[in-house]
Each structure stands twice: as C-alpha cells, then as structure tokens.
Amino acid sequence: MELLYGPIRNYAWGSRSGIATLQGRPIPTAEPEAELWLGAHPGAPAAVDRDGARVSLVDLLIAEPGHWLGEQVVDRFGTRLPFLLKVLAAEAPLSLQAHPDPEQALAGHAADAALPAAQRNYVDPHHKPELLVALSPMEALCGFRDPAVSAEALAAFGVPELEPVLAALRTGPAGLSEAVRLLLTWPAPERGRMVAAVASAPVDGPDAELARELAAAYPGDPGVLVALLLNRVRIEPGEAIWMPAGNLHAYLRGMGVEIMAASDNVLRGGLTPKRVDVDELLRVLRFEVLHDPVVGATTVAPGVACWPVPVDDFALHRVRVDADLPEVTLPLAGPRVVLCCSGRLAVDDGTGRVVLGPGQAAVGPAAAGDLHVSGTGEAYVGSCGPVR
C-alpha cells in the first residue's frame, strides 16, 4: 500500500466544513468542498509520491496495467480503474440526475461523437451505477414513489395548471413518463409562475417544505415539481442508497462515502442551470416505482460489512477495528483503495505498510495479497467486484 492523495472538487453545493473536519483542517473553508475523489478518473485523478513528486494514478495504470489492475480487470475493463471512491459533502441540493445502462452509454457515446462538446450527453462509453453510504444523517431523493401518492401531494397545492400532470399520475406508473415530460417541457413563463404558486401555497407537510426549499435554491426550475414525484429518504450512518441505471435521484444534504463506476455520463432532470435534454432523459429513465431505496449493511466477517450490488465494476467494504478486534484481514483480488474515516489505522497488503488518520487514503495494486487492517478506527475499502 502507499499513500493516495485525492483532489477536492469545489462545487457550489458543497460543504465548507464536512471534508475539512474529516481531514482535520480549519473551518470554514474558503470555498465549498463538495467531493474528495480517490481514484483514477481522468477528470480529477488522485496521485502517489514518486521520487519527491506527485504522479497521477492514471499514468501508473497505463505504465504498469498488469501490476496495478491485474489480467482479469484489464480483460474486462481495459487499462483503467473501473471504480471511483469519493467522500461527498452536501450543504445544498444537487441536480436531479440519472445515468445510462452499459448499452445506452456505449450507443450514446458513439452517436454523440460528431456533436460539439456542449451538446453531448455521453462523454464516455461507460455506465455509472452508484452506491452511497452515509457518514452523517443524509437526505436524498431517490426513485419514483407511488404516483397516486404524488398526485395527492400535488393536488393539495391547489394549482389548476397542474391538472394535466395529476391526470397522468392517476393512471398509475404508466403515466409517470407523461407527467415528467409535461413538467419539464412547460413553457418558461408559465412554469415559473407554477413553481412560485406551489412554493407559496398555504400548505403544510413534508412536500410543501421540500417545494419551498428547492424553489428558494432554484427559482422557476421545473425540477422543483419533478422532485415531488420521488421518494424523499433519510439514511443514518451505515445505511446506504443504491442507484442503478435509469434511477432519478438527488442528494439534498449530508455526508457520505460514495463508490461508482468511473464515468461522467449524467443526464440532468432539473435543479440545475446546466443543460437538460428532456428527450434523452425520458429515454433513459426507468418509470417504475422504487418502494425501498435504502440498503442496510451485511456483515460478512467480524469487523467487516458490505453492501452487495449487482455490478462487477466495484465493491465497497467497511472495516472496523478496536481493542477487542485489533486486526482484520480482508481477502481481495485486484486493485483497492482504502479510506480512513476515524481513528488511526495501519493497512498492509504485502506491498507496503501505511498508517492512516481520518481523511487519509491508500492505494494498493492487484499484485498485492490480502488486505490487513489494524489499530483502532473505521475504514472504507473500494475494490473491483467479482469479475464475471
């Protein structure tokens, strides 16, 4: 193992305290800090020390793919790290978004190749499923709720212009696509008035509270109303949200560890000043009710938990060691990234031993052996899933 230095992304919705507090830096920070990236994504690769200089993990993978990735990973994913581990810290709502499945990403990337960069939906040929585990209480919007519930919630605002949307929702899941299309294609002046009317309606309850919060952050944005079609969930530390392809979602606030397939393919559905391609979003979305988006941890060994997902791009394990269990061994094949979230931990996979404090990370190659974690504290370990 060796120390891994990840860049911080300064998006406007980020926190001025979350990541800095984790790493023991002064707060508030000068800029919002939204994400700490721990991987080899070309958009913001992490780095390791080499002869007194920082070297991009991307360059190391290209130079020594067999050592870092292993034959199986190279055969399946090429000379790239197929997963990206992040720390995410949100103080404001993110954009509503969804991601394509592998076939959609491959076809979309090929079709977009001739377009100007600003008009492309697919910047790479990869899918982007995501798993987020809460480090603090987190609130999010995730997947469509029962459209009958959404229709009742929207009707309570008493806005006549919403009647066509209510009619679509009352037909059941089959009407979700039409409801979303109507909301996202409403002419701008009327849309702004409709959003304002909903946000100012004398209605109490969680839906009214959400509408007011989102409208304050994104005045006139149709995503304010689309958000009311989704499940609003709160997860506690250790609980997770699994976001497969076609799942419309957004984080509202909180801090968590996120692992995803290493892709930048995002189709937005509102709550953003960025481009929204309604036709492509509607083609990618899965218009089905997601009854329970929350995933609990599964204990796989003393001190080790995971959140199984049906993809082979990544796996995520949580390791906890203390005075009663001072060392844990985690069998791994392939590259791995370890993030310490609390305490002081020694990590060793046979290629080197590294001591980590909170907010520090280490990376190990496929050529390494089992991962040994000792000390006192908690770590999250990102790796490739079982290659099928």
CA separation for the pair 388, 385 (Å, rounded):
9
CA separation for the pair 223, 94 (Å, rounded):
11
- 360, 327 Cβ separation under 8 angstroms: no
70: tokens are: 């292993």
- 81, 69 Cβ separation under 8 angstroms: yes
Residue 268 among the catalytic residues: yes
CA distances (Å), 316 to each of 1, 228, 229, 319, 330, in order? 18, 31, 30, 10, 12
226: tokens are: 């689309």
89: tokens are: 């810290």
Q: What is the dihedral of CA 373, 378, 382, 388, to 10 degrees?
A: 70
- 247, 132 Cβ separation under 8 angstroms: no
Name the residue among 71, 97, 42 with its Cα closest to residue 365.
71
Q: Which residues pair with 362 in a beta bridge?
A: 3, 338
Instruction: Please confirm whether the linkage preceding 28 is cis (ω < 30° from 0).
Output: yes
- Could you give the angle at the alpha carbon of 3 between the alpha carbons of 382 and 23, nearest 5°? 80
Task: Exactly one of 80, 191, 268, 336 is catalytic; name it.
Answer: 268
Task: Tell me phi and psi for residue 141, to 5 degrees.
Answer: -105, 130
- Could you give the angle at the alpha carbon of 382 between the alpha carbons of 125 and 301, nearest 5°? 135
- Type of residue at 228: L
- 3-state secondary structure (DSSP) of residue 155: helix
Q: What are the catalytic residues?
A: 268
